Protein backbone atom coordinates (compact mmCIF):
# COMPACT_ATOMS: atom_id res chain seq x y z
CA UNK A 1 0.00 0.00 0.00
CA UNK A 2 2.74 2.48 0.95
CA UNK A 3 5.58 1.18 -1.22
CA UNK A 4 6.84 4.05 -3.37
CA UNK A 5 9.09 4.17 -6.42
CA UNK A 6 11.23 7.30 -6.65
CA UNK A 7 13.70 7.67 -9.53
CA UNK A 8 13.72 3.89 -10.03
CA UNK A 9 14.42 3.13 -6.36
CA UNK A 10 11.84 1.40 -4.17
CA UNK A 11 11.06 2.80 -0.72
CA UNK A 12 9.10 0.65 1.73
CA UNK A 13 7.12 3.79 2.57
CA UNK A 14 7.35 7.43 1.41
CA UNK A 15 8.62 8.86 4.69
CA UNK A 16 12.22 10.03 4.43
CA UNK A 17 14.35 11.36 7.27
CA UNK A 18 15.03 15.02 6.43
CA UNK A 19 18.58 16.32 6.39
CA UNK A 20 20.07 17.49 9.67
CA UNK A 21 17.71 15.64 12.01
CA UNK A 22 18.96 12.78 14.20
CA UNK A 23 20.96 11.03 11.49
CA UNK A 24 24.61 12.03 11.84
CA UNK A 25 26.42 8.68 11.97
CA UNK A 26 25.82 5.60 9.89
CA UNK A 27 24.43 3.78 12.91
CA UNK A 28 22.03 6.59 13.80
CA UNK A 29 20.78 6.77 10.22
CA UNK A 30 20.13 3.03 10.23
CA UNK A 31 18.32 3.44 13.55
CA UNK A 32 15.92 5.85 11.87
CA UNK A 33 15.02 3.17 9.34
CA UNK A 34 14.38 0.80 12.24
CA UNK A 35 12.05 3.50 13.62
CA UNK A 36 9.94 3.60 10.48
CA UNK A 37 11.65 5.69 7.79
CA UNK A 38 11.47 4.41 4.22
CA UNK A 39 14.76 6.18 3.46
CA UNK A 40 17.17 8.66 5.00
CA UNK A 41 18.98 11.88 4.15
CA UNK A 42 22.37 12.69 5.64
CA UNK A 43 23.16 15.92 7.41
CA UNK A 44 24.47 18.39 4.80
CA UNK A 45 28.11 17.68 3.98
CA UNK A 46 30.74 20.19 2.86
CA UNK A 47 34.19 19.81 1.36
CA UNK A 48 35.95 20.65 4.63
CA UNK A 49 34.75 20.24 8.24
CA UNK A 50 32.60 23.04 9.70
CA UNK A 51 32.05 23.75 13.41
CA UNK A 52 28.75 25.55 12.85
CA UNK A 53 27.40 28.42 14.93
CA UNK A 54 27.80 29.18 18.62
CA UNK A 55 25.09 28.19 21.09
CA UNK A 56 22.23 28.73 21.49
CA UNK A 57 21.49 27.29 18.06
CA UNK A 58 17.90 26.13 18.48
CA UNK A 59 14.64 26.64 20.33
CA UNK A 60 11.11 25.36 19.99
CA UNK A 61 7.49 25.96 20.93
CA UNK A 62 4.30 23.97 20.37
CA UNK A 63 3.91 25.66 16.99
CA UNK A 64 7.37 25.95 15.47
CA UNK A 65 11.04 25.07 15.79
CA UNK A 66 13.81 27.61 15.12
CA UNK A 67 17.38 26.58 14.43
CA UNK A 68 20.67 28.06 13.27
CA UNK A 69 23.03 25.13 13.70
CA UNK A 70 25.14 26.54 10.88
CA UNK A 71 25.67 23.42 8.76
CA UNK A 72 28.15 21.86 11.17
CA UNK A 73 29.59 18.65 9.75
CA UNK A 74 32.85 16.64 9.70
CA UNK A 75 33.58 17.22 5.99
CA UNK A 76 33.20 14.86 3.06
CA UNK A 77 36.27 12.71 3.78
CA UNK A 78 34.96 11.85 7.24
CA UNK A 79 31.41 11.36 5.98
CA UNK A 80 32.32 8.57 3.56
CA UNK A 81 32.92 5.84 6.17
CA UNK A 82 29.67 6.75 7.96
CA UNK A 83 27.71 6.32 4.73
CA UNK A 84 29.46 2.98 4.18
CA UNK A 85 28.50 2.02 7.73
CA UNK A 86 24.86 2.78 7.03
CA UNK A 87 25.02 0.71 3.85
CA UNK A 88 26.33 -2.23 5.89
CA UNK A 89 23.45 -1.95 8.35
CA UNK A 90 20.47 -1.14 6.12
CA UNK A 91 19.17 -1.71 2.60
CA UNK A 92 17.00 1.43 2.65
CA UNK A 93 17.86 4.17 0.13
CA UNK A 94 20.17 6.93 1.32
CA UNK A 95 20.28 10.50 0.04
CA UNK A 96 23.55 12.39 0.57
CA UNK A 97 22.95 16.09 1.21
CA UNK A 98 25.77 18.40 0.09
CA UNK A 99 26.44 22.14 0.24
CA UNK A 100 29.20 24.51 -0.84
CA UNK A 101 30.06 28.16 -1.35
CA UNK A 102 30.57 28.09 -5.14
CA UNK A 103 29.32 26.11 -8.12
CA UNK A 104 32.74 24.54 -8.67
CA UNK A 105 32.94 23.50 -5.03
CA UNK A 106 29.50 21.88 -5.27
CA UNK A 107 30.88 19.82 -8.15
CA UNK A 108 33.92 18.85 -6.12
CA UNK A 109 31.86 17.71 -3.12
CA UNK A 110 29.54 15.76 -5.44
CA UNK A 111 32.47 13.98 -7.04
CA UNK A 112 33.89 12.99 -3.64
CA UNK A 113 30.58 11.86 -2.17
CA UNK A 114 29.91 9.57 -5.12
CA UNK A 115 32.80 7.41 -3.90
CA UNK A 116 30.41 6.20 -1.18
CA UNK A 117 27.42 3.86 -1.68
CA UNK A 118 24.72 6.53 -1.99
CA UNK A 119 21.53 6.40 -4.02
CA UNK A 120 20.96 10.13 -4.61
CA UNK A 121 22.55 13.52 -3.99
CA UNK A 122 20.44 16.31 -2.49
CA UNK A 123 21.97 19.67 -3.38
CA UNK A 124 21.33 22.07 -0.50
CA UNK A 125 21.37 25.53 -2.08
CA UNK A 126 18.83 26.98 0.34
CA UNK A 127 20.00 27.06 3.96
CA UNK A 128 18.63 30.33 5.40
CA UNK A 129 21.04 30.83 8.31
CA UNK A 130 24.55 30.96 6.83
CA UNK A 131 24.30 34.27 4.98
CA UNK A 132 27.30 35.74 6.79
CA UNK A 133 29.51 32.94 5.49
CA UNK A 134 28.04 32.29 2.04
CA UNK A 135 25.97 35.34 1.13
CA UNK A 136 22.53 35.21 -0.46
CA UNK A 137 21.35 31.62 -0.92
CA UNK A 138 21.74 30.30 -4.47
CA UNK A 139 18.08 29.20 -4.33
CA UNK A 140 16.98 32.75 -5.10
CA UNK A 141 18.65 32.87 -8.52
CA UNK A 142 17.75 30.86 -11.62
CA UNK A 143 21.21 31.56 -13.00
CA UNK A 144 22.90 30.12 -9.92
CA UNK A 145 20.55 27.14 -9.85
CA UNK A 146 21.28 26.33 -13.47
CA UNK A 147 25.05 26.58 -12.98
CA UNK A 148 25.11 24.45 -9.82
CA UNK A 149 22.72 21.85 -11.21
CA UNK A 150 24.78 21.42 -14.36
CA UNK A 151 28.12 21.02 -12.60
CA UNK A 152 26.76 18.63 -9.95
CA UNK A 153 25.03 16.61 -12.66
CA UNK A 154 28.30 16.37 -14.61
CA UNK A 155 30.22 15.14 -11.55
CA UNK A 156 27.60 12.80 -10.10
CA UNK A 157 27.09 9.10 -10.77
CA UNK A 158 23.64 9.11 -9.10
CA UNK A 159 20.45 11.14 -9.63
CA UNK A 160 20.49 14.65 -8.16
CA UNK A 161 17.80 16.45 -6.20
CA UNK A 162 17.82 20.25 -5.85
CA UNK A 163 16.61 21.53 -2.47
CA UNK A 164 14.73 24.81 -2.81
CA UNK A 165 13.82 27.63 -0.43
CA UNK A 166 10.36 28.82 0.60
CA UNK A 167 11.89 32.29 0.85
CA UNK A 168 11.90 32.45 -2.97
CA UNK A 169 8.57 34.00 -3.89
CA UNK A 170 8.76 32.45 -7.38
CA UNK A 171 9.79 28.98 -6.27
CA UNK A 172 8.09 27.32 -9.26
CA UNK A 173 10.40 29.26 -11.57
CA UNK A 174 13.38 28.07 -9.53
CA UNK A 175 12.17 24.48 -9.91
CA UNK A 176 11.77 24.92 -13.66
CA UNK A 177 15.34 26.25 -13.90
CA UNK A 178 16.63 23.20 -12.02
CA UNK A 179 14.65 20.84 -14.24
CA UNK A 180 15.89 22.53 -17.42
CA UNK A 181 19.49 22.23 -16.20
CA UNK A 182 19.18 18.49 -15.64
CA UNK A 183 17.91 18.00 -12.08
CA UNK A 184 16.25 14.63 -11.54
CA UNK A 185 14.01 15.77 -8.68
CA UNK A 186 13.21 18.65 -6.32
CA UNK A 187 13.11 18.84 -2.52
CA UNK A 188 10.59 21.43 -1.38
CA UNK A 189 11.31 22.97 0.99
CA UNK A 190 14.09 24.01 3.32
CA UNK A 191 13.26 26.01 6.45
CA UNK A 192 12.02 29.60 6.14
CA UNK A 193 13.88 32.55 7.67
CA UNK A 194 12.74 33.62 11.11
CA UNK A 195 13.82 35.28 14.35
CA UNK A 196 12.63 35.23 17.95
CA UNK A 197 13.42 37.74 20.69
CA UNK A 198 13.79 37.13 24.40
CA UNK A 199 11.97 40.15 25.79
CA UNK A 200 13.67 39.97 29.20
CA UNK A 201 17.19 40.21 27.76
CA UNK A 202 15.92 42.30 24.82
CA UNK A 203 17.98 40.24 22.39
CA UNK A 204 17.37 37.60 19.73
CA UNK A 205 17.29 34.14 21.31
CA UNK A 206 19.68 32.47 18.87
CA UNK A 207 23.36 33.43 18.87
CA UNK A 208 23.10 33.75 15.08
CA UNK A 209 20.06 36.01 15.61
CA UNK A 210 18.09 34.61 12.67
CA UNK A 211 17.41 30.96 11.95
CA UNK A 212 15.26 28.56 9.99
CA UNK A 213 11.65 27.96 10.99
CA UNK A 214 10.36 24.39 10.79
CA UNK A 215 7.67 22.41 12.59
CA UNK A 216 3.87 22.69 12.25
CA UNK A 217 3.92 26.40 11.34
CA UNK A 218 5.84 25.61 8.15
CA UNK A 219 3.34 23.08 6.80
CA UNK A 220 0.94 25.38 4.88
CA UNK A 221 3.88 27.22 3.34
CA UNK A 222 5.55 23.98 2.28
CA UNK A 223 2.29 22.61 0.89
CA UNK A 224 1.83 25.72 -1.27
CA UNK A 225 5.39 25.38 -2.56
CA UNK A 226 4.93 21.70 -3.44
CA UNK A 227 1.57 22.48 -5.04
CA UNK A 228 3.05 25.21 -7.24
CA UNK A 229 6.11 23.16 -8.22
CA UNK A 230 4.03 20.09 -9.12
CA UNK A 231 2.02 22.22 -11.54
CA UNK A 232 5.21 23.53 -13.16
CA UNK A 233 7.62 20.61 -13.61
CA UNK A 234 7.51 16.94 -14.57
CA UNK A 235 10.25 15.67 -12.23
CA UNK A 236 9.28 14.19 -8.83
CA UNK A 237 9.21 16.11 -5.56
CA UNK A 238 10.21 15.33 -1.99
CA UNK A 239 7.71 17.38 0.02
CA UNK A 240 9.30 18.56 3.25
CA UNK A 241 8.23 21.02 5.92
CA UNK A 242 6.02 20.80 8.97
CA UNK A 243 4.85 17.22 8.47
CA UNK A 244 4.01 15.90 11.93
CA UNK A 245 1.12 13.47 11.37
CA UNK A 246 -0.06 10.96 8.81
CA UNK A 247 -2.72 13.41 7.66
CA UNK A 248 0.01 16.00 7.01
CA UNK A 249 1.90 13.46 4.91
CA UNK A 250 -1.22 12.58 2.92
CA UNK A 251 -1.73 16.28 2.24
CA UNK A 252 1.83 16.48 0.88
CA UNK A 253 1.10 13.57 -1.48
CA UNK A 254 -2.12 15.23 -2.62
CA UNK A 255 -0.20 18.45 -3.28
CA UNK A 256 2.09 16.46 -5.59
CA UNK A 257 4.93 14.98 -3.54
CA UNK A 258 6.27 11.49 -4.25
CA UNK A 259 8.28 11.22 -1.02
CA UNK A 260 7.67 13.11 2.23
CA UNK A 261 10.56 14.46 4.29
CA UNK A 262 10.10 14.44 8.06
CA UNK A 263 12.42 16.13 10.55
CA UNK A 264 11.12 18.39 13.31
CA UNK A 265 8.34 15.93 14.07
CA UNK A 266 10.97 14.07 16.08
CA UNK A 267 11.00 17.07 18.44
CA UNK A 268 7.22 16.92 18.86
CA UNK A 269 6.56 13.16 18.76
CA UNK A 270 10.01 11.72 19.53
CA UNK A 271 11.89 9.38 17.20
CA UNK A 272 8.88 7.07 17.07
CA UNK A 273 7.17 9.76 14.97
CA UNK A 274 8.17 8.04 11.72
CA UNK A 275 6.40 4.77 12.46
CA UNK A 276 3.41 6.70 13.83
CA UNK A 277 3.11 8.77 10.65
CA UNK A 278 3.34 5.65 8.47
CA UNK A 279 0.64 3.90 10.54
CA UNK A 280 -1.62 6.96 10.37
CA UNK A 281 -1.20 7.14 6.58
CA UNK A 282 -2.12 3.47 6.24
CA UNK A 283 -5.16 3.91 8.49
CA UNK A 284 -6.41 6.84 6.42
CA UNK A 285 -5.93 4.93 3.17
CA UNK A 286 -7.82 1.92 4.51
CA UNK A 287 -10.68 4.12 5.71
CA UNK A 288 -10.87 5.89 2.35
CA UNK A 289 -10.37 2.66 0.35
CA UNK A 290 -7.20 4.00 -1.28
CA UNK A 291 -5.10 1.15 -2.64
CA UNK A 292 -1.91 3.08 -3.48
CA UNK A 293 -0.43 6.54 -3.08
CA UNK A 294 -0.41 6.92 -6.87
CA UNK A 295 -4.21 7.19 -6.69
CA UNK A 296 -4.00 10.40 -4.69
CA UNK A 297 -0.71 11.94 -5.81
CA UNK A 298 -1.54 15.44 -7.05
CA UNK A 299 -5.24 14.90 -6.29
CA UNK A 300 -5.58 18.43 -4.91
CA UNK A 301 -4.99 19.77 -8.41
CA UNK A 302 -8.10 18.15 -9.86
CA UNK A 303 -10.67 18.57 -7.08
For residue 127, what pLDDT is reported? 78
For residue 128, what pLDDT is reported? 66
Catalytic residues: 127
Q: How many CB atoms lie within 10 A of CB 24?
A: 16
The chain-wide mean pLDDT, for the chain, equals 94
For residue 23, what pLDDT is reported? 66
Q: Looking at domain 4-301, which CATH architecture does it have?
A: Alpha-Beta Barrel (3.20)
Q: What is the pLDDT of residues 178-218, one digit of tens each?
A: 999 999 999 999 999 999 999 999 999 999 999 999 999 99
Residue 70 assigned as binding residue = yes
240, β-bridge pairs: 261
For residue 133, what pLDDT is reported? 58
Instruction: Kindly list the domain boundaries of the chain, sorted by start residue.
Output: 4-301
For residue 130, what pLDDT is reported? 57
For residue 131, what pLDDT is reported? 56
Residue 54 assigned as binding residue = no
Residue 241 assigned as binding residue = yes
Q: What is the pLDDT of residues 246-288, one digit of tens each?
A: 999 999 999 999 999 999 999 999 989 999 999 999 999 999 9
Residue 67 assigned as binding residue = yes
For the chain, list residues with pLDDT below 70: 23, 128-135, 303
For residue 52, what pLDDT is reported? 86
Give me Rg for the CA atoms of the chain: 18
Q: Is the pTM of this model over 0.85?
A: yes
Which three-class secondary structure string do you get for the chain?
Answer: CCCEEECCEEECCCEEECCCCCCCCHHHHHHHHHCCCCEEECCCECCCCECCCCCCCEEECCCCEEECCCCCECCHHHHHHHHHHHHHHCCCCEEEEECCCCHHHHHHHHHHHCCCCCCEEEEECCCCCCHHHHCCCHHHCHHHHHHHHHHHHHHCCCCEEEEECCCCCCHHHHHHHHHHCCCCEEEECCCEEEECEECCCCEECECCEEEEEECHHHHHHHHHHHHHHHCCCCCCEEEECCCCCHHHHHHHHHHCCCEEEECCHHHHHCCCHHHHHHHHHHHHHHHCCCCCHHHCCCHHHCC
Residue 88 assigned as binding residue = no
For residue 24, what pLDDT is reported? 75
Amino acid sequence: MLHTTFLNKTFSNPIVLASGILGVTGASLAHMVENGCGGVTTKSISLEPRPGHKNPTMMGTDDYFLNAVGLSNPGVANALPEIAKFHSLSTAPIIASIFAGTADEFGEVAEHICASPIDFIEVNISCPNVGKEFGTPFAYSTTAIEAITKIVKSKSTVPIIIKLSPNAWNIAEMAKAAEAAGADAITAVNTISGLMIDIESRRPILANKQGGVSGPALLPIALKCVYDIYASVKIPIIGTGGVTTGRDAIAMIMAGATLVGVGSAAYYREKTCFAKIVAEMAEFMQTENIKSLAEIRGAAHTN
